Amino acid sequence: MRFLVFQNGKPARNVVLSGAYLFGMDMVPLRNVESIMFRNGVIECVRKSDDAAGLSLLWPVEDAGAFLLPTTRLPERDEPYILNVELARARLMQITVKREDWALFEEMDKFADLAHEAQELFIEALQHISDPPKASVLADAALKKAMLLSERLSLRYAEQYLSLRFRNRGLGKHTLGCCIEPSRLGNERYDKCVQDMFSFVTVPVNWGQIVPEKGRYDFAAFEKCIERLAGKRMAINCGPLLCFEPAKVPGWLLAQKAGFEEVREQAYEFIGKIVSRYGKYVHFWTVISGMNARNCFGFTYEQMIEMTRTACLAAKAADAKGRRIIEITHPWGEYYATEKATIPPLVYADVVIQSGISFDAFGLVLELGKNQPGMHIRDMMQISSKLDCFATVNKPLHIVTAVPGHDGTEATDCMRAGVWKKPWDPAVQAEWVEQFYKIALGRSYVSTVTYSHLVDDSEALIPTAGLIDEKMDPKKAFLTIGKFQKMILKSAAAPK
C-alpha cells in the first residue's frame, strides 16, 4: 500500500512518521506490518496480509494543529493513493457518523456554510484526482474546514449535555480531582492549592517501593500521606495498586523471573494488606492499571484477565465498601501493533465485563502531548468519539488527563508529539483543558476528571504539564479548572 504525499501542492520532502501505524477492523492496530517508510514523496506500507487497512499518522492541519489522523480503510492496489485526499475523506466520514450519533441535525444548520465548503472542496479534489498536486491542495483545504467543523460540533454537543448535567445537578463536589505528589505534601503553598481547588485526590501507589523485599512491607511514606489527607473532607483514591511495568513491580519478582502463580499470590497478598490497613480512609481503589498495555511478565491473554479478577477479588475481600476501578491506558491501542502480550483496549474492557469480574468503574488515562505510543495529540472529535465507546459499558468512567504547558524537549516537540492549534504555552494549555473538561463532563457516565500533573516537574511523564509551576504559582489551566469547580458547587447548592 502506497500513498503520495504532498505539502502545499508539491511532493513532500520530509514526513514525520513518529506514532504512525496501520489499522484494520474497528480501528484495531495491525501487527503484521513489516515497515512504514517515507521515500521520494511516497509513504510505503509493507505488510504480510492484503486485507483492507488504514494508515494513521501525525499530520499538520493549518490553524488546527498537528494530530494523529487516520485515513479510511483502503484495499491494496498497484496505483498509490493520495494521502491528503484520504485524510480529508476520513474526517468528512467521521463528521457524518457523529452528527447522526449525536443527533445534531438542527445544529448542523448553524454550521451549514462551513460544512458545505468542506464538502464542495472535497468533491472538487475528487474531480481532479488525475492531477494529484491539485487534488492535494483542494483536499488540504477541505480537511482544514472539516477539522474546524468537527471541533465546533464536538464542543456544541458537549455544551448541550453539560448544561443539562448542571440543571439536573448531576455533578458532585468530588467530580474534579488531581494526582498528588506525596513528597510535596507539607509545603504550605502546595497544600493550599490542593485543598482550595480539589475535593477528590489520587494518592499514587508503587508496589515495588512498598514491598522492596519478599515479606517486608514499608508503608511509612504512604501512611504519612494518608494521615495528612485524612479529615480534610476529600474523597481519596489510591492506586494503581497493580501496574505491570518494570518500575512499579517488586524488583525481586522480576529478578527471579517469577511465574504467573507466584506473581498472582504476591499481588493478592499485597492488595489485601494495603486495602485492609487503609480502607477506612480510602473511598476508591484503582486496583489495576494498564493490564491491557503493560505486561512486563509476559502474561498470556487468559492470565491478564485472571490477574484483573484477582486484583478485584483481593480488594473486595479486604474492604467490601471501597469502590474498585479498573484503569485502561492508551485508549487508541497503538501499543498493540508492536507489543505481543497485550490486548486492544476496548476488547479488554468487553472481556472484563463478559467475564463477570466484580468491579465498580472503569478508569481511562488520556495523557497527551508526548512522542510515545498512545500519547500523540488527538483532536477533540477523536477524543469525543473514544469517550462515546464507553457509553454502552454501563459503568461509571473516571478519567485521568494532562497536556504540556510549554513546547519542550524532543519528547514533547510539536513536530513529533503533535500540537493543538499552536505550540504549547500556558494559554493554549488552559484552552485545551477548558474544551476537554466540557467534552468529558458533558458525558453523563463520566464521574470524575483527574488532572495527573499538579506541579511542573522535570522527572514527570510530561515535565511541563503541571497546573502550577515549580514556584507554586498557578497557571491559567489551574484557574480554568477553578471556574468549573465553582460552577459545580453553585449547581449543587442551587434549590431544586
DSSP character for 206? -
Q: Is the dihedral of CA 444, 447, 449, 452 positive or negative?
A: negative
Query: What is the tens place of the pLDDT at every residue in 299-312?
Result: 999 999 999 999 99
Confidence of residue 442 (pLDDT cuts 50, 70, 90): very high
Strand partners, 146: none
Cβ 333 vs Cβ 29: under 8 Å = yes
Cβ 24 vs Cβ 30: under 8 Å = yes
Q: At which residue does the C-alpha cell 505528589 appear?
A: 181
The answer regarding whether domain 169-493 maps to CATH 3.20.20.80 reads yes
Query: What is the tens place of the pLDDT at every residue in 59-88?
Result: 999 999 999 999 999 999 999 999 999 999
Query: What is the tens place of the pLDDT at every residue in 169-222?
Result: 999 999 999 999 999 999 999 999 999 999 999 999 999 999 999 999 999 999
Residue 395 has pLDDT above 80, yes or no: yes
Distance of CA 88 to the CA centre of its chain: 24
- Beta pairing, strands 42-47 & 33-39: antiparallel
Angle (nearest 5°) at CA 12 between 9 and 16: 130
Task: Write down the pLDDT at residue 457.
Answer: 92
Residue 107 has pLDDT above 80, yes or no: no
Task: Write down the pLDDT at residue 233.
Answer: 85
Q: Describe the strand order of the beta sheet including 2-4 as a list of residue ranges.
A: 33-39, 42-47, 2-4, 81-82
Provide the percentage of residues in the chain whose pLDDT is more than 90: 90
CA gap 354, 372 in Å, rounded: 31
Confidence of residue 131 (pLDDT cuts 50, 70, 90): very high
Domain ranges of the chain: 2-161, 169-493
Quick one: angle between helices 426-441 and 132-167, nearest 10?
60
pTM summary value: 0.96
Distance of CA 256 to the CA centre of its chain: 33
DSSP string, 367-417: E-SSSSTT-S---HHHHHHHHHTTTTS-S-EEEEEE--SS--SGGG-HHHH
Q: What is the CA radius of gyration of the chain?
A: 23
Task: Write down the pLDDT at residue 415.
Answer: 75
**Least confident piece of the model among 222-236, 298-312, 425-439:** 222-236
CA gap 274, 277 in Å, rounded: 5
Strand partners, 29: 23
Residues in CB range of 18: below 8 A, 6 or more apart: 58, 371, 376, 416, 417
Task: Write down the pLDDT at residue 494.
Answer: 72
Strand partners, 2: 44
Residue 92 has pLDDT above 80, yes or no: yes
CA gap 329, 364 in Å, rounded: 6
Task: Write down the pLDDT at residue 106.
Answer: 72
Residues in the chain, total = 496
Task: Write down the pLDDT at residue 382.
Answer: 98
Residue 496 has pLDDT above 70, yes or no: no
**Integer CA distances (angstroms), 258 to 215, 264, 267, in order:** 15, 10, 12
Task: Write down the pLDDT at residue 185.
Answer: 92
CA gap 204, 237 in Å, rounded: 9
Query: What is the tens place of the pLDDT at every residue in 335-382?
Result: 999 999 999 999 999 999 999 999 999 999 999 999 998 999 999 999
Residue 236 has pLDDT above 90, yes or no: yes
Confidence of residue 491 (pLDDT cuts 50, 70, 90): confident
Task: Write down the pLDDT at residue 412.
Answer: 58
Mean pLDDT across the stretch 481-485? 96
CA gap 229, 180 in Å, rounded: 11
Q: Which three cell numbers stand for residue 261?
A: 502463580
Distance of CA 257 to the CA centre of its chain: 31
Residue 19 has pLDDT above 70, yes or no: yes
Residue 410 has pLDDT above 70, yes or no: no
Task: Write down the pLDDT at residue 93.
Answer: 97
